[in-house]
Amino acid sequence: MAGYLSVERLSKQFSAYGRVACKDVSFAVGEKEFIALVGPSGCGKSTLLHIAAGLSAPTAGAVRLRGERVTEPRPEMMYVFQQYTKSIFPWKTVLDNVCLGIKYRSHSSRKEIEAAARAQLHVVGLAAYADYHPYQLSGGMQQRVAIARALARRPEILLMDEPFSALDAMMRVELQDLLLELWRELGLTVVFVTHDLDEALYLAQRIVLLSASPGSVAEILDVPLPYPRNQVETRRQPIYLELRAHLYNAIVRQVLAGRAEAA
C-alpha cells in the first residue's frame, strides 16, 4: 500500500491463545493529513497507534514510514498519551518537562534547549507558566505541556491517543481548535484516536472506522468540511449532520455484529 505513513495488513494478538486486538488492518496516511481513528470500545485503536509509534510489535503485517518499516520509536513521530498526568513528570517544572522532549536527542547547549522549550510553551499559550509545576495547572494546561513537549522535538507526525477525553467540555473544544491551528501552521501529519464522533468529524480530513473486536477497517470516510472550522458553524452544516448520523449508525451496526458473533 503506497503512502507516506502506511499500515499494511496489520494484526495483533497478545499471546498464542490470547485476545486478537486487530486483524488485517490496512490504510494509508498522506503527508500533512489529519486522520481520525474511531470504532467500538476494544476494537484495537490504541493498539494500532502503539504499533505505529514503534512502541509495540505487530503479530503480522507492518507499519511503514516512507516505505521503511517502523520497528522502534522514530524521531519523526511523537506520541501524545491520553493520561497526561502519567506522561509528564510532577516533580519537574513545566519548562523542564518540555526540555526533556529535546535534550536526549540533541547536542545543543542547555541555554539553546531552554530557548527552544520556551518557544513551544509560547505556541501553546503557556509562556507565563514555565516555572510552575504540573500540580499547579489545570488538566487542560497539563495536556498543553504534553503537546508542547511533543512539538519541541520538531516531529513530522503526531500520534494522539484520546488526548482530550479527560478534559471538561470547554477546555476540550479549546484544545481542539489549538490542535487544528498547530496542524495547519506547522504542516504536521496527525493520526488521532477518539471515541467521540463529533470530535473526529470536527478535526479530521478522513475518518477510519474500525469494526468491533478484533478490529479491521470497516470504512474510510472523507470529511469534506472546509477549514478553518468553527465549533458552532461547522457543527450545524447539513453535511456534518449527515456524516454524524452515518457514523453513529455504522458504529451501532458494528457493536451489534460484535455481540452477535460473541454469542
Domain boundary (154, 182, 211) is at: 154
> Is 254 part of a structural domain of the chain?
yes
Residues 238 and 167 in one domain: yes
> Is 240 part of a structural domain of the chain?
yes
Give the other-Cβ count within 10 Å of 34's Cβ. Answer: 22
Calculate mean pLDDT across residues 143-159: 92
Least Cα distance to 99 among 112, 83, 86, 90 occurs for 112
**Half-sphere exposure of residue 92, counting CA atoms within 13 Å on the CB side?**
17
Residues 164 and 252 in one domain: yes
Rounded distance, CA 123 to CA 161, Å?
21
> Is 81 part of a structural domain of the chain?
no
> Is 47 part of a structural domain of the chain?
yes
Calculate mean pLDDT across residues 253-262: 76
> Is 117 part of a structural domain of the chain?
yes
| Residue pLDDT, tens place only, 231-244 | 999 999 999 999 99
Residues 136 and 246 in one domain: no
In the predicted structure, residue 1 carries a pLDDT above the cut 50: no
Domain boundary (112, 134, 154) is at: 154
Residues 72 and 103 in one domain: no
Residues 159 and 245 in one domain: yes
**Containing structural domain, residue 112:** 88-154
Q: How many domains does the chain have?
A: 2
Distances from the Cα of 150 to the Cαs of 43, 96, 160, in angstroms?
26, 13, 10
Least Cα distance to 197 among 216, 219, 228 occurs for 219
Paired with 160 in beta bridges are 80, 192
In the predicted structure, residue 136 carries a pLDDT above the cut 80: yes
pTM: 0.93
Residues 18 and 126 in one domain: no
Residues 43 and 162 in one domain: yes
Residues 167 and 241 in one domain: yes
Find how far residue 179's CA is from the centre of its chain. 10
Residue type at 46? S
| Residue pLDDT, tens place only, 52-102 | 999 999 999 999 999 999 999 998 999 998 877 778 999 999 999 999 878
Look-up: residue for cell 478534559?
A: 167
- Region class of 176: left (phi > 0), else alpha (psi between -120 and 50), else beta: alpha
> Is 2 part of a structural domain of the chain?
no
Residue 60's CATH number? 3.40.50.300
Distances from the Cα of 133 to the Cαs of 88, 96, 124, 138, 155, in angstroms?
10, 9, 16, 11, 25
> Is 4 part of a structural domain of the chain?
no
| Residue pLDDT, tens place only, 95-121 | 999 998 787 766 778 888 999 999 999
> Is 29 part of a structural domain of the chain?
yes
- pLDDT category of residue 16 using cuts at 50, 70 and 90: low
Residues 60 and 95 in one domain: no
Residues 132 and 43 in one domain: no
**Model pLDDT, residue 215:** 86
Domain boundary (154, 171, 194) is at: 154
Judge whether 33 and 222 are in contact, CB under 8 Å.
Answer: no
Residues 171 and 225 in one domain: yes
Residues 177 and 137 in one domain: no
